[in-house]
Amino acid sequence: MNTADVVGHSTLGLIKLRIKAYMDLIKFRLSALVTFSAVFGFILGDTGVTFSWPHFLGLAFGGFLITGASGAANEIMERDLDKLMKRTQNRPLPLKTISLSEAYLFASLLAFLGIGLLWVFTNPLTTFLGVLSMVLYVFAYTPLKRVGPIAVFVGAIPGAMPPLLGWTAATGAITYEALIIFGIQFIWQFPHFWAIAWVSDEDYQRAGFKLLPSGGRKDLNTAFQIMIYTLFLLPLGLLPTYFGLTGLNSGIVATVCGVLFLAQTFSLMRDGSRKSALKIMFGSFLYLPIVQIAYLLDKMP
């Protein structure tokens, strides 16, 4: 291998590392999942008369950019805390693979581009909700994580906003159907957040994060609250079927998924182990996309 080849391989390697660092900064996988929820809301809200590709693509790309900007802003604000936790100490800012000034510039650019895309290709209501979601996540949820479990309630609002954004991008209005799909994702966040907080409790304590209810304890009371919020998903999951938004098949899928999700919480109530909390965490990762895909498939002719 000659010198030019060595330099070429080295340059390519550096480019790959930079791309990975920026993907980590915007929490790429999380941003992709959030975008999927927004797309889900759009397709569910679409009347099927005339599918607007500009609206759809504007929502998808604009939503992804706003979510990425929010994730980057979160990492900027928590850069010193991320150094203290094993799960976050390899993020680009603690490792200094991206400078702070670069992160600020990149996050700002994504935010402006995302807002611009929503404004141009969707409507003012969707743009407002997108900005509200970003503001709540960055300036309310992020600092509240060190205050108390109220952060979970506040964080569940922007966390449940994507399907609502999708619906308003397709319809231009907040209807009861939009509130139903918002409500399902809102309630889902509580067992999801608390299971993660249970599993990552030692790390969170190092950073001073206080996300668990019951005074921050991993006890029966916390496990019981996880169970109650998971239980709420059973009737909520049937509302799209009840109101004719989707058909019976998706209602059955939502119920089966809800029962399986709920069953995992009884194990946590019984033994209070990290293993049981992990099962709930992974169960939450599966529940939402499976149920949302079922709703979409059930709507298709």
Kindly report the CATH number assigned to the domain that includes residue 151: 1.10.357.140
Q: What is the pLDDT of residues 80-107, one digit of tens each?
A: 999 999 999 999 999 999 999 999 999 9
The domain tally of the chain equals 2
Give the separation between CA 186 and CA 209, rounded to whole angstroms. 21
68, 147, 174, 177, 186 from 65: Cα distances, Å:
5, 28, 23, 26, 22
Same structural domain for residues 124 and 248?
A: no
Which residues neighbour 287 within 8 Å (Cβ) at sequence distance 6 or greater? 188, 233, 257, 258, 261
Same structural domain for residues 103 and 193?
A: no
Q: What is the pLDDT of residues 178-222, one digit of tens each?
A: 999 999 999 999 999 999 999 999 999 999 999 999 888 999 999
Same structural domain for residues 100 and 249?
A: no
Report if residue 225 sits inside a domain: yes
Same structural domain for residues 146 and 291?
A: no
Report if residue 99 sits inside a domain: yes
Same structural domain for residues 17 and 160?
A: yes
Report if residue 216 sits inside a domain: yes
Residue 30 tokens, joined = 């999380």
Give the separation between CA 67 and CA 189, rounded to whole angstroms. 17
Is the separation of the CB atoms in 97 and 91 below 8 Å? no
Report if residue 215 sits inside a domain: yes
Please say if the pLDDT value at position 8 is more than 70: no
Report if residue 31 sits inside a domain: yes
Nearest CA among 123, 116, 120 for reference residue 165 = 123
Is the separation of the CB atoms in 287 and 264 below 8 Å? no
Same structural domain for residues 65 and 145?
A: yes
Same structural domain for residues 155 and 283?
A: no
The model's pTM is 0.94
Report if residue 1 sits inside a domain: no
Residue 210 tokens, joined = 């206080």
Q: What is the pLDDT of residues 32-73, one digit of tens each?
A: 999 999 999 999 999 766 788 999 999 999 999 999 999 999
Same structural domain for residues 50 and 82?
A: yes
Same structural domain for residues 18 and 146?
A: yes
Same structural domain for residues 136 and 272?
A: no
Question: For every residue of the chain, which 3-state class applies, written as one string?
Answer: CCHHHHHHHHHHHHHHHHHHHHHHHCCHHHHHHHHHHHHHHHHHHCCCCCCCHHHHHHHHHHHHHHHHHHHHHHHHHCHHHHCCCCCCCCCHHHHCCCCHHHHHHHHHHHHHHHHHHHHHHCCHHHHHHHHHHHHHHHHHHHHHCCCCCHHHHHHHHHHHHHHHHHHHHHHCCCCHHHHHHHHHHHHHHHHHHHHHHHHCHHHHHHHCCCCCHHHHCCCHHHHHHHHHHHHHHHHHHHHHHHCCCCCHHHHHHHHHHHHHHHHHHHHHHHHCCHHHHHHHHHHHHHHHHHHHHHHHHHHCC
Report if residue 4 sits inside a domain: no
Residue 108 tokens, joined = 């700002």
Question: 10: pLDDT confidence band, cut at 50, 70 and 90?
Answer: confident
Same structural domain for residues 23 and 132?
A: yes
Report if residue 6 sits inside a domain: no
Same structural domain for residues 165 and 203?
A: no
Q: Which of 132, 154, 174 is a domain's end point? A: 174
Is the separation of the CB atoms in 221 and 197 below 8 Å? no
CB atoms within 10 A of CB 150: 15
- Across the range 136-143, mean pLDDT stands at 97
What domain range is 239 assigned to?
A: 175-301
What pLDDT is attached to residue 301? 65
